[in-house]
Structure 1
Amino acid sequence: MAPAKLLLVDDDETIRLTLSIILRKHGFHVTVAATVTEALKYISSQVFDVLLSDLHMPGAGDGLTVVSAMRHANPKAVTILLSSFPHMDAAAQAILLQTDEILVKPMDVTMLVDAIKLRLATGPSRTRVVETVATILERAAESTIKDWYLLVEKEETLMAVPMSFQLRSGHLTRVFQDLVLRLRSTTVLGSKELPSAAATEHGTVRRRQGYTAAMMVEESRILQVSIFNTLQKNLASIDFSVVLIGVMTIADEIDSQLGQAMKSYLTESIVDALPA
């Protein structure tokens, strides 16, 4: 049987040298990478059976970026992360959804080799479907809107203006459509806001329904909370390599839509104040 091909990723030269020697003595075919960029080049050009990567890498990206790339390029590969922190709590749970195992440094070399061989024998811990932030929001739009409404119902200031579920949440379907389009576009973060007819209409409608400006801001804040809760619930399938830019884009787009809605809200207010 051909030796298992292992990619070792660590910025520490001593660890790279020591581990590569030990792993080769135990029958592994070892390729080493000192940076995330170098690791990504190997992943895109070779097939590996095992990824063994430090979680905390300097520069652009980290161990999660490497794991995500390996999952995309070679989903059958076993992925193991090394971390210097023994207690990672919630963060560890999120990471475990993408990698097969986390081992704490420093650790006994024999235990490391045994852990790798065990994972190779059993295979990756799960077949995992990786989704973009846009895909998750598109799929979970309806449930997110329902979660948003439950949070809105707890806000007395918002509920002071009585209306049906449809009237209060009807605009959100188009909000999610705009969000998904923005997430899938090539628009650079921080670019001038894209015009949203839905946002403009929403501001006018909310003014006529009796909302105050503060109520509109609170409603928008709750929407962001609901969306981030949805992403939290979908950590098992989220693509960590793009999640940060996705979250930033969501916040930017929702703020942009709130700004456009407020403009039309104020315009409607001025019209209401004009003499009949």
Structure 2
Amino acid sequence: MTKTRLLLVDDDDDLRETLCLILEHGGFEVLSAANVNDALKLIGANIFDVLVSDLHMPNDGDGLTVVSAMRHSNPKAVTIIFSAHPEMKAAAAAILAQTDEVFVKPQAVVNLVEMIRAKMKAEPGPVKVVSTVATILEDDAAVTIKNWLLRVDADKHIVWVKLDDTKRTAHLPQLFRDLVYRLRNPLELGSHALVSAAAAEHGLLRREQGYTAAMMVEESRMLQVSIFQTLQNNLHRVNFSLVLIGVMAIADEVDSQLAQAMTAYIGESKVDSLPNIA
């Protein structure tokens, strides 16, 4: 009979070795990793039935990063996070919706074995599918734009310029397409963002509509807030292994598009300030 294959992830060498022995004695085939990077390599090269991972680990990533990777590669695997902090169950309920169970140290290890067996025997629930930041923004672009518009409409300094919703949001569909493209085609660290003709056109249009430079900056700030609110609302399905890189790319792309829009805006202002020559 094929043994249940389990991945154990913990940076504490003594605890990891002890757990390996106990889990193997309990009938599991155990592979182990001491850090997130090693865990990700094992997940990429093997099929697992169970993941047991510590939540807090040194260096890059944590247990949630490992869970996200496991959900992506082995969506049917039972995933169990264990933590030394009893408040984790309540405090991180939304994030841990990706995880089947939270095991709080220092419960008896025999309870962990029993928990895994119970989860393996239980009727499988819906597969917890994780999504990339790009997919979430693509799926929820309309919701994010609506949220942004509510923020803008509440700002008396911006709504002083009378525009209907269609004109106010005209630049955003293309901006979201640029964002999704950027997220799916990441640039090397330190590279300049791509040139956007749409961003320059937006800067010129906002000037014609009567916006000040400060109003454009505030709109851009509100856009980032709305985007991050969308990610916050989707923590239960976001792929944590990529979320930090995604957030950095979003901030850089939105700032770059604002800079390009402002360059066009200021350039046109300088042209208009030149004296007329007969």
TM bucket normalised to smaller: over 0.9
Q: Which moved more, 1:83-92 or 1:23-32?
A: 83-92
In the alignment, the residues of structure 2 paired with residue 263 and residue 223 of structure 1 have an alpha-carbon distance, to the nearest angstrom, of 19
How far is 1:101 from its partner?
1.4
In the alignment, the residues of structure 1 paired with residue 123 and residue 21 of structure 2 have an alpha-carbon distance, to the nearest angstrom, of 24
Q: Which moved more, 1:59-68 or 1:194-203?
A: 59-68
How far is 1:210 from its partner?
0.8
How far is 1:224 from its partner?
0.5
How far is 1:125 from its partner?
4.5
TM norm structure 2: 0.93
Superposed, 1:208-219 pairs within 5 Å as 208-219=208-219
How far is 1:161 from its partner?
0.8
- Cα deviation, 1:132-188, whole Å, max 9, x if unaligned, reads 111111121112111110111110100111111111111111111111111111312
Could you say what secondary structure the match of 1:242 adopts? helix
> How big is the alpha-carbon RMSD for the aligned residues of Structure 1 and Structure 2?
1.8
The code of the aligned residue for 2:188 comes to V
For 1:137, the equivalent position in structure 2 comes to 137
- Cα deviation, 1:206-235, whole Å, max 9, x if unaligned, reads 111111111001000000011111111222
- Cα deviation, 1:26-79, whole Å, max 9, x if unaligned, reads 222222222223222322333222111111122233212221222122111101
How far is 1:254 from its partner?
0.4
In the alignment, the residues of structure 2 paired with residue 254 and residue 108 of structure 1 have an alpha-carbon distance, to the nearest angstrom, of 49
Could you say what secondary structure the match of 1:8 adopts? strand
For 2:20, the equivalent position in structure 1 comes to 20
The code of the aligned residue for 2:245 comes to I
- Describe the shift of the 1:124–1:71 C-alpha distance in structure 2 as closer, same or farther (beyond 3 A): farther
- Cα deviation, 1:53-109, whole Å, max 9, x if unaligned, reads 111122233212221222122111101011122224786124312211122222222
How far is 1:257 from its partner?
0.5
Q: Which moved more, 1:161-170 or 1:38-47?
A: 38-47
Superposed, 1:4-19 pairs within 5 Å as 4-19=4-19
In the alignment, the residues of structure 2 paired with residue 180 and residue 159 of structure 1 have an alpha-carbon distance, to the nearest angstrom, of 28
Identity over aligned residues, as a percent?
Answer: 59
Conserved 8 A contact 1:9-1:34: yes
- Describe the shift of the 1:273–1:90 C-alpha distance in structure 2 as closer, same or farther (beyond 3 A): farther
The code of the aligned residue for 1:108 comes to A
Q: Which moved more, 1:126-135 or 1:139-148?
A: 126-135
2:195 pairs with 1:182: no
Q: Which moved more, 1:57-66 or 1:167-176?
A: 57-66
2:52 pairs with 1:52: yes
Superposed, 1:32-181 pairs within 5 Å as 32-88=32-88, 92-122=92-122, 125-181=125-181
Q: What runs of 5+ residues in structure 2 fail to find an aligned partner?
A: none
The code of the aligned residue for 2:118 comes to L
The code of the aligned residue for 1:208 comes to E
Conserved 8 A contact 1:78-1:124: no
How far is 1:12 from its partner?
0.6
Q: Which moved more, 1:89-98 or 1:109-118?
A: 89-98
The code of the aligned residue for 2:192 comes to K
- Describe the shift of the 1:22–1:172 C-alpha distance in structure 2 as closer, same or farther (beyond 3 A): same
For 2:237, the equivalent position in structure 1 comes to 237
Q: Which moved more, 1:241-250 or 1:261-270?
A: 261-270
In the alignment, the residues of structure 1 paired with residue 140 and residue 91 of structure 2 have an alpha-carbon distance, to the nearest angstrom, of 23
Conserved 8 A contact 1:135-1:180: yes
The total of aligned residue pairs comes to: 276
For 2:256, the equivalent position in structure 1 comes to 256
